[in-house]
A = this chain, B = another copy of it.
Amino acid sequence: MTDTDTDTDTDTVPATTDSALEAALAAAAAAATDATPGERAARLDRIADALDAAGPELIPLAARETHLPERPRLAGELARTTFQLRLFAEVLREGRHLDAAVDHADPGWPMGARPDIRRVRIPIGPVLVFAASNFPFAFSVAGGDSAAALAAGCPVLLKAHPGHEELSRRTGEIVRAALADAGAPEGTFAVVHGVDAGVTALRDPRIAAAAFTGSVRGGRALFDIAAARPRPIPFYGELGSLNPVVVTPAAAAARGERIAQEFAGSFTLGAGQFCTKPGLLLVPEGHGMDEALVAAVGGTSAAPLLNDRIEAALRARLDTVATTPGVELLAEGTGDGPVPTLLRTDAATFRAAGARLHDECFGPVSLLVTYSGTDELVALLSELEPGLTATVQGEPSDAAAVGDLLPALVAVAGRLLWNQWPTGVTVSWAQQHGGPYPATTAPTTTSVGTAALERFLRPVAWQNFPDELLPDALREANPWQLPRRVDGVPTATG
């Protein structure tokens, strides 16, 4: 997800004072993290219930601050948010995320006698989450990163995005009240406001990990701060993505018009303000889709962007792309404000232009590039910055050629799609939302899906401990009935 989150303090909600920030950090550090998975699950369910109940208040507030439509968009996003909290609760009740392992003492272990050693993942500690501009619910106060960190058992400090500060303040109140009702300690969750508060917290030794969704520029600056700390911490940044779509010759011939319509729908969805917006449509020379694209994009309308800063940044970026020699306008939508715009060029121009054309445009803008064949396509893909997704629109008759293309696509993306569109990211067990930098700063992880909570756990081993001093997850009788690996053998409730 990317935007131009030049984060300036607004007047909506005052910036968090130094003393309030200190109190929040101290409370987070003091918040006990010894709840059982079942207790944590109940807290997540309680938050989800409270947010669902507050929908009639929160949705109009979000619409006012972000210009996004209440329905289906914001209502759907709130539903996604509460679903996500409940899915993490399910993960906790299963317990497999703890990766518990018990190796009993074994005098015959081939490398030498093995002691009794048992490992389980514990909460990494207080987590700082930077909210995104473009998902006021799903990647904000009670969004994916907060849900994952709370599920992991970590206290959360949430840095509100300035694009929806009043919503953030109010959502934070609801989350805090729900946590208190569910018996969570004070300090489990707090919302802070203002750039300075965010940066100060990121440097604070009590913060053990951070998560961010936003622009490459903003995310890199924060990543650099996290890496430069006396004690560096994991920084999970979800940054930029171009999301290339490859249309095969057979697909262009068989259903060019339908592809044009679906593509126009995808790159203008949410006014193009999605991290997974398809920003590059790669079509074969002689594709014959121009007319269909002009009609499809012509049928789309301008929609207000999230805020003035994003609109100004889009205009500047669009100007750069549109004035690149060899780039021309192919199609435009209608209406006032930032109209959906499709530009076009050829592969040689695109490849020679570098960042000028390869960088993301955050908004309803995309670029069509024609290619001559698989070789040129592979060369072009290998020059892209890695991103979150790569899509193929193909036909069964293309399977062999697409097979040749797949290694180049896998190299630059965390999720590959076939005959679907990258916008609309489901939350499920198999979801992967990540990729090599700059898709994310942590390519071994995901920020969407059940695996997202693993980012906030660290393993600890207990060697030769008496049973009564072991954490419950590792006791011989397995009181939590966890799935565990025992002496190398996975068991359902070992």
Closest to A208 in B: B436
A223 and B234: CB pair below 8 A? no
Q: A426-B114, A469-B402 are in contact. Are A434 and B420 (CB under 8 A)?
A: no
Closest to A100 in B: B430
Closest to A226 in B: B227
Q: Does residue A464 face the partner (Cβ distance < 8 Å to B)?
A: yes
- Which of B83, B124, B414, B464 sits near A460, CB closer than 8 Å? B414
Closest to A465 in B: B418
Q: Does residue A35 face the partner (Cβ distance < 8 Å to B)?
A: no
Copy total for this chain: 2
In chain A, positions 435-473 with a C-beta closer than 8 Å to chain B are 435-438, 441-446, 449, 451, 454-455, 457-466, 468-469
Q: Does residue A483 face the partner (Cβ distance < 8 Å to B)?
A: yes
* Chain B residues within an 8 Å CB radius of A442: 234
Q: Does residue A53 face the partner (Cβ distance < 8 Å to B)?
A: no
A12-20, A103-111, A295-303, A310-318: which lies at the interface: A103-111
A420 and B463: CB pair below 8 A? yes
Q: Which of A115, A413, A444 has the most CB of B within 10 A?
A: A444
- Which of B80, B117, B415 sits near A461, CB closer than 8 Å? B415
A414 and B461: CB pair below 8 A? yes
Q: In the docked arrangement, what's the CA distance between A320 and B148, Å? A: 45
Q: Does residue A406 face the partner (Cβ distance < 8 Å to B)?
A: yes
A420 and B464: CB pair below 8 A? yes
A217 to chain B, nearest CB (A): 13
* Chain B residues within an 8 Å CB radius of A441: 232
- Which of B84, B112, B432 sits near A76, CB closer than 8 Å? B112
In chain A, positions 225-241 with a C-beta closer than 8 Å to chain B are 227-228, 231-234
Q: In the docked arrangement, what's the CA distance between A417 and B114, Å? A: 13
* Chain B residues within an 8 Å CB radius of A465: 416, 418
A404 to chain B, nearest CB (A): 11
* Chain B residues within an 8 Å CB radius of A417: 463-464
Closest to A396 in B: B466
* Chain B residues within an 8 Å CB radius of A487: 429
Q: A122-B410, A403-B469, A490-B96 are in contact. Are A112 and B426 (CB under 8 A)?
A: yes
Q: In the docked arrangement, what's the CA distance between A262 and B472, Å? A: 30
* Chain B residues within an 8 Å CB radius of A463: 415-418, 420
A103 and B430: CB pair below 8 A? yes
Q: Does residue A488 face the partner (Cβ distance < 8 Å to B)?
A: yes
Q: In the docked arrangement, what's the CA distance between A438 and B229, Å? A: 11
A418 and B469: CB pair below 8 A? yes
B464 and A429: CB pair below 8 A? no
* Chain B residues within an 8 Å CB radius of A459: 414, 432, 434, 444-446, 451
Would you mind naming 23 contact pairs between A and B with Cβ atoms under 8 Å apart?
A79-B110, A80-B112, A83-B110, A103-B426, A103-B429, A111-B427, A112-B424, A114-B426, A115-B420, A119-B430, A119-B449, A119-B451, A208-B436, A231-B436, A234-B444, A403-B469, A414-B461, A415-B460, A415-B461, A418-B463, A418-B469, A444-B458, A444-B459
Interface residues of A (CB under 8 A from B): 76, 79-80, 83-84, 90, 96, 99, 101-103, 109-112, 114-115, 117-119, 122, 124, 208, 223-224, 227-228, 231-234, 385-386, 396, 399, 402-403, 406, 410, 413-420, 424, 426-432, 434-438, 441-446, 449, 451, 454-455, 457-466, 468-469, 483, 485, 487-488, 490
